[in-house]
Structures are given as structure tokens and as C-alpha cells.
Chains A and B, each alone.
Chain A
């Protein structure tokens, strides 16, 4: 009777020992569930992209992918907690353009861009700018010209968020200035635009298509999207380049892990993600959110973050957001 119990206890102890102690050798990765931190709340776009990925990724890796929502500070809290996790490839998180590079330049986040191992970029959305439909500005050029003589106000979701920085860098390139009024979310910014509190709104392109009816009627007018070519979801909106402004900028999400994850694991994960992102089903599901699948490997993603940081640093210094 007691013997049986002791044997059972011993079995449990061995099993637990194996779970805790067994360092994952790269060739057998993954041997246990993978935790994916989503640094935003349930129901948001990031959360939905993560949940979209979880199922096919589980299938490809043969282990459950568990999603943990840790919202706060525009995504910085979840990422800060990620950097405290063991770099063994079993804790990953969804990072974005502004949270990885720009945020640590501004406040004490407990991390910087070097605290991460980049794994893969997943999706991107072109940055864009919109005005009210009754606004006098018909083109991007109208707006830039007006800014040379007048002080206009604009809004976007969050101080130093991707949309804010996209516009701040653009304005700095054109040598003009505008007053930024912060909003908690893109919808909050839309309220400020429609109520006349601000003159234009900067936001990811994905926020705009749902505001247009079938015959193109809307309360807003999108002046331009900073994509390389016309965006498939809004083919009527010209790019910045077409209007004579050489500026390309997008908001994106990617998968990151704490710094120091073994190269084999990074390669394993990013190759599985590449295969998944490039399936037509994934792109089709993304269409529901007006996102574009946009895989980039670890090295390219790292380069992108560093490049964004270089562009953003002087602008942050100019608007007084750079931390001391």
C-alpha cells in the first residue's frame, strides 16, 4: 500500500525533475508549451493576430502555444517582462515598430533594443494621414503647404506610438511643425478629428477602410498612405511618393524573444513562421483586419528596428521626448 504510494511519488518527482531541470537541447526544441506574451488586451488587433498564429504554429511545432495578455504602457510592460524570462525559446512576445526601438529611447523601460532576440516580422500596415471630409486640404501637398504658414493640430494613438512617430518624422523631413494632441487609441483620435479639435489624424491604414461605405462615402478623406505602392485595400488613395514626398513608413508586428536565445532555436522558429505567414490562408484571415502578411527574417528585422531608431532619435530630441 505505502510502497505503491512511494513509487507513485517517485514517478511524479522524476517527471517534475525532467520538466524543470531538462535544458532543452536545440535539436529537440520544443519539448514543452511555448508562452506567447501579447502586450495588449484581449480583442485588440495584436491579440487577434497572435491568436490567428497560435493554431498553425502549434501544429508546426508540435507543442501548445499559450497566449498571455499583459497590457499596459502601449505594449512596453509585456516586453519589459519578456526580457526577464529565460532565453530558451519558450517565452516569446509580440513586439511592434515603436515599442522595440523608440520607447526605450524615451523612458526607463527596463529594456532596450539589444534586450531582444528578433525572430520574425509578421505583418505590416502602411502609415497614413486623414482629414475630415469637409477639410480644405485635398492632397498631402495642400496640408504641407498649409503647415508652412499656419499652426495646425493633429492626433494619433499614443505619445511616441508608431503613428505619432511616423508623422513626426515626416513633418521634420518637410521642415514644418504641428501640434500633437495625444489620444488613447485610434478611435479616440478619430473622435478628436471629427469633433474639429484637431485638423488631421495620423494612423495605420488598417483603421480607415471600415470608415468608408460601398460607394466611397465617408466622414473622412485619406490624403495619402506611406507605402511603396498603392495599398490593395484602398487602391484609390495615392502614396506619399506619388505626391512627390519620398517617404515610406509602416506599422508592423513581429515576434521577439529575450536576448541570448540559441541560434538554432531562432532559426527553427523563424523558418516555421515563414512557412506559416506565406500560406494563402494566413493572408486571407489577415484581410479581415486589413493587415498585410510581411515576413522578415531575424537579421532583417533587427536591421529595421535599428534603422527606425536612427530616424526617430533626432526627431525625439527635437520634440523633447528623448530621455536624459
Chain B
């Protein structure tokens, strides 16, 4: 399998060297940037929308366009997350915690540059893994069952304790609300409808993006449109950041960078997960390893590094099971299977053997997309920063309209537009009542994974809970969870004497 003929490597390189292919990568990166940055339009949505366009292209051009969108889209969600506290996609929700705090301190440019370089490192690291040990990694991922998935998701969910400043009870309430939202629709284990109130459109549940856009974007816009300006957050003039200083930051925090890249790649390899989970788990790990002086949640650059490195390292990771087993690692790669099938390429364990040159092309394209993402990202960040100068009278209706279009495009269903409005109101109330919204999104993302895998694991084991501690990987994950809880809840009691005015 690792014996790719030299002629295949050459042929793959020649295919990518075609100017049209390079052109499509650039187009893809630009599209990914725009879709990723626009609240409500996500990378999977962009790929789904542009997929039919690729039907008439060859396999290499088609992959060029889609992989360009893929890499840039996962990064670009962090632009609005940092600048206006409105993550463009669920995977950037954790970035908003520290990124926006940095923007409030006038360091938005530094946060954006960190996100760009961090994404590049994550993307290239995972690509390296894909090139070298893909088959091995895929086999390793296949030893995990529902038991391990549940324990991993548990690490993510206890992150609530780490990010809930102010009132822990409110943080948990928000997370439970998120989990409650995720239970709407046809139950994934026994097929029974829940909380549908006779509304067939709720059969499929509440889409994660819709909940996120409502809770973050719409609620932010509602806050902005309030008349009394004293509640409004006015961002100071943003300092231009030196790229060299940013790279030095990444070097200084190389351990966080490295760990996040590893976590992101591994989560990417695991089928049925995605960038949102990767960024939360790395964020919680960065929190666990925090030094006393770190100001997580108040503009700690390590927070941005952890999220952005890991959510882009999902890209290469998710390609691992796709190319070696024909199993998608995240929502985007699931769509890529369709894109390859229409080109007559059968995605399965023998893809690399049968289409060696295509495999080489895909690796080169991923590499090219990551590099172009930096080029486009660095030049776009200047334009993006101008968003802050747009008066609310124009910004609010524009963002609201984009959000409506975005959620409509997920399933071409007007019902989702109504849903996003409802979640916008809920988000607004949560902010007004000082409930943090980030744990709610965490609940929406992790709720289904927790539930499905817990119930599946218990179904197989005949309701025997001991499987969670008798399987070693799961046991290790549970110990990690316990450590996290101790770190966050133990010493917290003493530090709670200090007032913590920060609110999300």
C-alpha cells in the first residue's frame, strides 16, 4: 500500500501542475474564505453547493476546487468569531472565547494572524500524518467502539466547567439546554420521535449550524441594535500585528501547538466526529495545562492557537479513513465520497492501490490549499478588519440576511429560518441574563455523540456499565475527565474570592 510507483507520483504532480487545477484551488480557497467567514454558511454547505458544478470537471480539478474550499472554510470561520464574536461555523465557537477578547483589547489582528498561521501548521501536520502513517492510523481508529467515543465526548463536555466563568451553575444550565436541544427529532437509537410537537420538519432535529447561528450571530445582532449604547461593546482601534511576532508566539507555545495538532488529527481520523469537537477538546486540554499567569477567556493567545491548529488539522486527519478505508472522517469528507464517485473513482480500501496518481494529487492539492489559505487569509484580514468600521445600521441587517440565507441553504427549508430566529431570541435572553452561550453550543455539538454512543455501548453490553472501565482507552479517557474536573473545580473554590467581572 505504501509502495506508490514513481510514475504515479510523477503523474500526480503533472496533473496538479496544470494551470487550470491551480486556478481551481485558488477559486476554492476564495470561496471557502467567503463561505467560512459568512455566519450561517459553513464549509460543508459550500462544498455541498459547489459539488454539482464539479460533476463536469475531471477528478483532479474537482478535488482542487473542493479541497480548496475545505481547508480555507475551516479556517475562515474564525474571522467573524474573532472580530464580532459571531463564529461562522460550530468549529470556531471556541475560538471566539479568546479571539474576541483579544479583539476587545485591540489585538484582533494578532489573533487573526495567529489563527491563519496556526491553521497552516495544523493543516500541514495532519497532511504529514496522512502521507506517512495513514493506513496504520486508520487501523488504530478502527479499534475504537462506542465505548471509547462516549468517553472522548465526555472529556469535551466537562470543558463546560473550564469555560464557565462567573456562575458554574449557569454554565451547566446552558450546557444542559444545549443537550436538550440536541435531543429534538427522531431518536438516533430507537427511532422514536421526541419533542416534535407534531411538526414534521423537526423530525431531523435542530441542525447544529442553525442553533449556533441563532445563539451567537442573531443574538449579537439583537444586542447591537439596542438603542442604549452603553451595553454595546465598542472595540478599540486594532493594532497591526507583526507576522514575525506571531510566529514567535507559535514557537514559544510549541507544546500547545503540537498537542492541538495531534488532537485535531486524531479526532479527524475518528469517523463521525469533526472540527467542532476537535477544537473543544484541544481548548479544554490547553485550559488544563494552563499556567497561573494565563488569562484564558480574557484574550489568551494560547486559546486561539489550540482551537485553530486543531480544527484545521482535522482536514488531513479526516482524509485518512476516507482514502484508506472509504470511510469519511468528518461531514465534508462524506460529501467528497460522492464527488469522487461521480468521477468514476470507487472510494474504498483499494483506492490508493488503484488510483495512486490521484492519491498523490490529493496530497499535493491539500498542501497547496493550505499555503494559498495563508496568502489569501493574510491579505483578506485587512479587508475583514474593516467590518468593525461598518455602522450597526448596515452591519445588523446584512449579517441577519446572510444568516437567514445560510441556514436556508442547509436544507432548502424555510422552517430553518424560523428556527434561527427563535434561537436568536433565546441567545439574546441568555446574554441578557448572563448565561454563557458557548456551553450551550458545546451541548448541541456533543449531546448527540454522548447519547448515541452511551446507549449503543450499553445495548451491546446488555446494560453493563463496567465496559467503560474495562476497556483501557476508555478508562484512560475517564481518568483524564476526572483530572480535568479536579483541576477546574478543586482550586476554584479558593480563587472564587476574587471577583470575576468577565462575561461571555
Contacts and interface: CB of A to CB of B under 8 A. Distances in A.
The answer to whether A and B assemble together is yes
Interface of A: 41-45, 47-48, 51, 67-74, 76-77, 80-81, 106-111, 151, 153, 159-160, 179, 181-182, 184-185, 187-188, 190-192, 194-198, 209-214, 218-219, 288-289, 320-321
B190 interface: yes
Given A43-B339, A77-B204, A210-B326, 16 more contacts: A41-B48, A43-B338, A69-B411, A70-B413, A80-B203, A111-B200, A159-B187, A181-B146, A181-B456, A182-B452, A184-B272, A192-B146, A197-B146, A210-B346, A210-B347, A213-B353
A190 B327 contact: yes
Which of A69, A110, A191: most chain B CB closer than 10 A?
A191
A289 B347 CA distance: 11
Nearest to B272: A188
B370 to A, nearest CB: 23
B411 A196 contact: no
B470 interface: no
Nearest to A210: B348
Contact of A181 (B196, B353, B459): B459
Which of B146, B344, B456: most chain A CB closer than 10 A?
B456
A212 B353 CA distance: 12
A44 B347 CA distance: 13
Interface in B475-494: none
Contacts of A219: 349
B196 to A, nearest CB: 6
Interface residues of B, number: 56
Interface in B132-149: 142-146
5 contacts: A48-B342, A80-B201, A108-B198, A192-B145, A210-B326
Contacts of A108: 193, 196, 198, 200
A107 B191 CA distance: 8
Interface string B333-350: 011111101101011111
Contacts, number: 159
Interface in B371-424: 411-413
B203 A77 contact: yes
B201 A43 contact: no
Contacts of A184: 188, 272
A187 B325 CA distance: 9
A184 B412 CA distance: 21
Interface string B256-271: 0000000000000001
Contacts of B200: 76-77, 80-81, 108-111
B204 A42 contact: no
B13 interface: no
A218 to B, nearest CB: 7
Contacts of A151: 462
Contacts of B177: none
A42 B48 CA distance: 5
B411 A77 contact: yes
Given A72-B411, A213-B353, A107 B326 contact: no
A43 B335 contact: yes
A116 to B, nearest CB: 14
A195 B142 contact: yes
B327 A191 contact: yes
B339 A213 contact: no
Interface string B144-178: 11100000000000000000000000000000000
